[in-house]
Amino acid sequence: MDFAFLVDQGLGILATASVSALVAMGLALSFRLMGIINLASGDFMMIGAYSVLTFVAIGLPYVVGVLAACVIGFLLGALTERGLLQRFSRAPELAILGTFGLGIVIRQVVELIYGKNFQFVENPLPGSVEIGGAEFSIYRLVLIGVSVVVIGALLLVLTLTPLGVKVRAVAADGDLAETLGVRSRRLKLVVFAVSTAMASLAGSLIAPLTNVGPGMGNAYLFVMFVVVIVGGARVSMVLVAALAIAIVQNVTTLVVDSLVAKLAILAMAFIVLAASRPSTKGAIV
C-alpha cells in the first residue's frame, strides 16, 4: 500500500463526505427546527441533477445549470413548506408522510418528462492532476471545494449573523423565540427551502459522476439519514459523521464489497441509536 494509493483513497473519501454533508446538513436543520425528516430529499437531489442535464442539453454552461438547480430547489422547497408542511405543523408524523408522497409525485413527473432510462451529463472538467503521486479528477477536487465553501458559509451564517441567532433561538425553544419577536413560520420556510436547495446543489454536483435517472436520489437517501442519526442532528457533528461514514463506506467497499459497506453503515446507526437519539432540543451548531 503506497502513498499514492492512500492519497487517492483519502480524496475519494472527502468527495463522498462532501456530498453527504451537503444534504445531511439540510436534513439536520429542518429536523431541528420543524421536527420533520424530509423523505423527499433524495428527489430534490434528483431535481438538481435533471436541472443540470436540461440546461447543458440546451447549450448553456454547466455552471448555469448548477446555479439554476439551487434556485429551483429553493423555490420548490418554499412551495413545499408553505403548501404542505405548514398544514401539518402540529402533526409532524403526517408531514413526514406528506414528504414521502411528494417524493413519489416528483419521480412520476420526472418519468413523464424524461422517461425511465438513465441519462448522462458530460464532465465539464475531464482532466486530472497529480497529487502525491496519484492521479485525481479535477472535477472531484472542484466538488470538494464547492462543498467546503457552501458548508463554511452556512456555519458562518448560523454562528455570526442575526439570522443565525434567530435559527438557533427557534431550534432551542420555538415558543419562547416567538414571544421575543422571532417570526418562526417565516424562518422555518426559509430554512426548509435552504435545505432543499442544498440537496439540489448536491444532485447537480454529482450529475457528471453518476447515471441520472428518476430513482437516483434513493441510493443516497439511506446514507444521509444515517449521517443525521450518527451526527445527532447537530450541524457541526453532522460534518464529523459524514466523514466517518464515508471512511467506513469506502474502506469496507474496497476490502469486502458494497453490500457489506451498507450493513456496516447501518450497524453504526443502530449503535448510536442504542446509546442516544437525535433530539430537536439543545444546541444546533
Residue 31 sits in which domain range? 3-216
Cβ pair 233, 279 in contact under 8 A: yes
Q: Is residue 224 part of a domain?
A: no
String of DSSP letters for 47-93: HHHHHHHHHHHTT--HHHHHHHHHHHHHHHHHHHHHHTGGGGTT-HH
Q: Is residue 247 part of a domain?
A: no
Q: What per-residue confidence (pLDDT) applies to 32? A: 82
Q: Provide the number of structural domains found in the chain.
A: 1
221 belongs to a structural domain:
no
Is 202 a domain residue? Answer: yes
Assigned C-alpha cell, 98: 406528506
Q: What is the pLDDT of residue 187?
A: 87
In a domain, 125, yes or no: yes
Q: Which residues of the chain have pLDDT under 70?
A: 1-2, 132, 232-233, 276-285
Decide: 247 and 10 in contact? Cβ < 8 Å: no
Residue 37 lies in a domain: yes
What is the DSSP secondary-structure string of 152-218? HHHHHHHHHSHHHHHHHHHHH-HHHHHHTT--HHHHHHHHHHHHHHHHHHHHHHHGGGS-B-TTTTH
Residue 246 · residue 253 · CB < 8 Å: no
Residue 206 belongs to a domain: yes
Q: Would you give the end-to-end CA distance of the chain in angstroms?
A: 38
User: For 213-267, how does the pLDDT look when each residue is reduced to its tens digit (9 = 90+)?
Assistant: 998 888 788 788 888 877 766 777 888 888 888 888 888 888 888 788 888 888 8
Cell of 242: 459524514
Query: With 0-12 CB in 10 A as exposed, 13-18 as middle and 19+ as buried, what is 112?
Result: exposed
Q: CB–CB of 197/25 below 8 Å?
A: no
Q: What are phi and psi of 129, to 5 degrees?
A: -125, 155
Q: Are 20 and 223 in contact (CB under 8 A)?
A: yes
Residue 275 identity (one-letter amino acid): A
Burial class of residue 227, CB neighbours in 10 A (0-12, 13-18, 19+)? buried
Q: Are 265 and 248 in contact (CB under 8 A)?
A: yes
Residue 108 lies in a domain: yes
